[in-house]
């Protein structure tokens, strides 16, 4: 037997026997009468106004008010609002700006507003000045082009003025071999302000140097040894003949290279890193000496001093005196050697120099004054040399050119059947004896003299030469 659940329908609830509250049955053919609002029903007759709004059903407003009462909020004491009324904004509403109601513009006006450019905020315009230089888009395009091609454009700084192009590249790219620098310039891959240049051309501030893609060997970040730096610094300081805040003059020993090269690990330029100051500035070389040439070597402590000292060399304001021990005795005790010199192998930075003719490729004029100070049994001569120009191997090539090569020279000494006198070491007997150069800051002359290296001092003692003897080269012409 199945039972049907009692009906939960509308006008009245059925009692037992299938009759509604009025006593009439609601059979299958009779529908319940709908509720008429104008005619009160039985439920309205029993309504009690004193018990309104106390049933289990509550509105959202009732729940909010009761929660406020629990919290102790004063909003519970305010009169409740009805759906047609506006709520009380409270004290916080005074601080909030009142937005104007949105109004839709006509279609024609809306189109004009959409097409018009949007004005920038006045505050941003007043605070942000107009950008100078290339925009970000142009910078990204330039960086992409550089990344794709590998071409770099360098701008010459003020302290790089009057610097040779090859020296400029060597300074900017220390890990680039010097032979590669010469090759780049010789092949025309490097452009200065859009034009080809020569290795000895000088640069001016503001010039743009276009550098082709370079394959640089990655420099390994090896931790420097504090003990090694201390030893290198002590060694360099032991060579100082003159020092001030802008420059120092070293007594470079025989056999120590000035700069690194193929197979050269220890050199002056590398040792100078141990003297790097707190500001990160490393002393810089101003000129070069051959590996086997001893004597005065100028080092600048700042880039500005380096540029000023290099300009003194180019303008021939610096005076240099060299001492050499040569084979034989020149017939003319004082003279002038003027030739053109060119490299036998242009691609080799340390190639042998040859006497060339005017107009030959790579030929440069070289001028040297010489004077014989003393001689030993008409076999050896003590020559004092004053170079006016500064070409590679100039003194060694000129001494060989007049038939009196320097003793111990492995490249230019070519006298047949010549025997080295006993007690004289087979080392290059060439010394950068004296240098006089204007100070980079005051302009006053700085005069420094270097002593004889050990092997030359031994030869001078053996031959009976007096190093304090008057040097007649001081009377030689200056140009």
Residue 249 · residue 242 · CB < 8 Å: yes
Lowest mean pLDDT among 17-26, 191-200, 353-362: 17-26
Residues in the chain, total: 479
pLDDT in tens, 324-352: 999 999 999 999 999 999 998 876 767 89
Give phi and psi for 364, each to the nearest 5: -135, 145
Q: Which residues are catalytic?
A: 290
Categorize the per-residue pLDDT at 146 as very low, low, confident or very high, splitting at 50, 70 and 90: very low
**To which H or E segment does residue 145 belong?**
helix 136-149
Task: Work out the average pLDDT over 140-151.
Answer: 52
pLDDT in tens, 233-242: 999 999 999 9
Kindly tell me if the per-residue pLDDT of 29 is higher than 50.
no
Give phi and psi for 342, each to the nearest 5: -145, 155
**To which H or E segment does residue 312 belong?**
helix 303-314
pLDDT in tens, 35-65: 454 455 554 555 555 555 555 555 666 666 7
pTM of the prediction? 0.60
Categorize the per-residue pLDDT at 16 as very low, low, confident or very high, splitting at 50, 70 and 90: very low
Q: Which residues pair with 323 in a beta bridge?
A: 384, 431
pLDDT value at residue 147: 40
pLDDT in tens, 454-463: 999 999 999 9
List C-alpha distances in Å: 232 to 52, 224, 265, 276: 102, 12, 13, 12
Higher pLDDT, 470 or 152: 470
pLDDT value at residue 18: 47
In the block, residue with structure tokens 């000045």: 129
């Amino acid at each position: 037997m199945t039972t049907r659940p009692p009906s939960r329908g509308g006008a009245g609830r059925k009692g037992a026997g299938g009759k509604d509250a009025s006593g009439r049955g609601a059979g299958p053919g009779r529908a319940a009468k709908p509720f008429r609002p104008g005619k009160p029903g039985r439920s309205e007759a029993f309504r009690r106004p004193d018990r309104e709004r106390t049933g289990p059903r509550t509105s959202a407003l009732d729940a909010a008010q009761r929660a406020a009462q629990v919290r102790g909020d004063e909003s519970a004491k305010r009169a409740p609002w009805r759906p047609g009324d506006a709520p009380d904004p409270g004290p916080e509403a005074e601080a909030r700006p009142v937005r104007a109601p949105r109004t839709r513009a006509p279609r024609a006006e809306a189109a004009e507003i959409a097409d018009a450019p949007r004005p920038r905020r006045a505050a941003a315009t007043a605070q942000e000045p107009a950008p100078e230089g290339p925009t970000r888009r142009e910078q990204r395009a330039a960086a992409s082009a550089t990344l794709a091609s590998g071409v770099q454009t360098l701008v010459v700084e003020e302290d790089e003025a009057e610097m040779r192009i090859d020296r400029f590249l060597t300074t900017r790219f220390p890990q680039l071999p010097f032979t590669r620098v010469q090759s780049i310039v010789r092949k025309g891959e490097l452009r200065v302000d859009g034009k080809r240049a020569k290795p000895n051309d000088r640069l001016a501030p503001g010039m743009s140097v276009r550098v082709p893609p370079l394959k640089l060997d990655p420099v390994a970040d090896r931790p420097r040894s504090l003990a090694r730096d201390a030893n290198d610094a002590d060694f360099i300081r032991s060579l100082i003949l003159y020092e001030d805040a802008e420059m120092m003059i070293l007594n470079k020993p025989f056999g120590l290279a000035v700069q690194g090269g193929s197979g050269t690990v220890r050199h002056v330029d590398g040792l100078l890193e141990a003297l790097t100051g707190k500001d990160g500035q490393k002393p810089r070389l101003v000129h070069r000496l051959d590996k086997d040439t001893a004597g005065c070597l100028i080092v600048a402590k700042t880039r500005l001093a380096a540029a000023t000292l290099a300009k003194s060399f180019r303008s021939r304001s610096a005076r240099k005196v060299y001492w050499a021990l040569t084979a034989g005795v020149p017939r003319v005790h004082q003279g002038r050697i003027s030739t053109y010199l060119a490299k036998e192998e242009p691609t080799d930075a340390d190639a042998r120099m040859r006497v060339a003719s005017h107009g030959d490729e790579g030929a440069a004029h070289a001028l040297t004054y010489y004077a014989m100070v003393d001689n030993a049994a008409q076999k050896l001569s003590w020559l004092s040399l004053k170079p006016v120009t500064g070409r590679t191997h100039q003194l060694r090539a000129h001494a060989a050119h007049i038939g009196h090569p320097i003793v111990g020279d492995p490249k230019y000494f070519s006298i047949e059947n010549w025997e080295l006198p006993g007690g004289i070491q087979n080392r290059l007997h060439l010394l950068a004896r004296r240098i006089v150069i204007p100070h980079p800051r005051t302009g006053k002359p700085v005069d420094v003299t270097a002593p004889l290296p050990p092997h030359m001092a031994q030869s001078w003692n053996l031959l009976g030469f007096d190093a304090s003897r008057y040097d007649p080269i001081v009377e030689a012409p200056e140009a």
